[in-house]
């Protein structure tokens, strides 16, 4: 009777994984750099700025402009087209309250020698830019001292039927 007793020594190798609780603190912490491009094109004054565009299709891109009462407004008119001012001239003319729009437009259209600003406009006009052609721009500064709705137009002949809008001071 052969008795083979096999003693199997089970060696349980316990590999103790050394728990490395090494907190990895990065040697170089990237500084949060906010590289904001500084646009130094801020207006010199603290004027309320308005941009108005006009084009070769005889249009303003905005027909309702809101401005604050009593604050200087710097309005820039841009002509995004290519046509010369002799054929597609634009300006921004802001009329005072109570001015007859049609009568003014007719008078201004005839005032070719004065860039379509009637020489005797006087208080009919609060402000106006010069007449510009394609690629040009013109800025005018003004202050509306009384709240209300004012009409603006381009006074180039035939344009005011389309190129007109409301400026609301509030
Ligand atoms: Co025009």
- Cα-based torsion angle of the residue sequence 86, 58, 55, 63 in order, rounded to the nearest 10 degrees: 130
What is the CA(144)–ligand 1 centre distance, in A? 23
Q: Which residue has the higher pLDDT, 54 or 20?
A: 54
**DSSP string across 21-86:** ------SSPPP------------SS--EEEEEEE-TTS-BS-SEEEE-TTSEEEEEEEE-S-S-HH
Neighbours of ion ligand 1 (CB under 5 A): 90, 154, 156, 159, 163
- Which tokens hold the place of 97? 């309250």
Tens of pLDDT, residue by residue over 147-162, are 999 999 999 999 999 9
> Can you give the CATH number for the domain in which 163 is found?
2.60.40.420
What is the CA(96)–ligand 1 centre distance, in A? 19
Q: Total domain count for the chain?
A: 1
Tens of pLDDT, residue by residue over 64-113, are 999 999 999 999 999 999 999 999 999 999 999 999 999 999 999 999 99
What is the CA(101)–ligand 1 centre distance, in A? 15
Q: Quick one: pLDDT at residue 150?
A: 98
What domain range is 106 assigned to? 2-169
């Amino acid at each position: 009777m052969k008795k083979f007793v096999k003693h199997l020594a089970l060696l349980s190798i316990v590999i103790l994984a050394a728990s490395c609780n090494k907190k990895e603190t990065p040697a170089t912490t990237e500084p949060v750099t906010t590289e904001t491009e500084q646009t130094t094109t801020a207006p010199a004054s603290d004027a309320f700025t308005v941009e108005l565009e006009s084009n070769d299709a005889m249009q303003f891109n905005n027909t309702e402009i809101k401005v604050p009462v009593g604050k200087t407004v710097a309005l820039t008119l841009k002509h995004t087209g290519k046509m010369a001012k002799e054929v597609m001239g634009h300006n921004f003319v802001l009329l005072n309250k109570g001015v007859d729009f049609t009568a003014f437009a007719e008078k201004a259209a005839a005032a070719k020698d004065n860039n379509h600003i009637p020489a005797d406009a006087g208080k009919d006009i609060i402000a106006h830019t010069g007449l510009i052609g394609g690629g040009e721009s013109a800025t005018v500064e003004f202050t509306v001292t009384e709240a209300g709705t004012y009409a603006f137009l381009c006074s180039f002949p035939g344009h005011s039927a389309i190129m007109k809008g409301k400026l609301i001071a509030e």
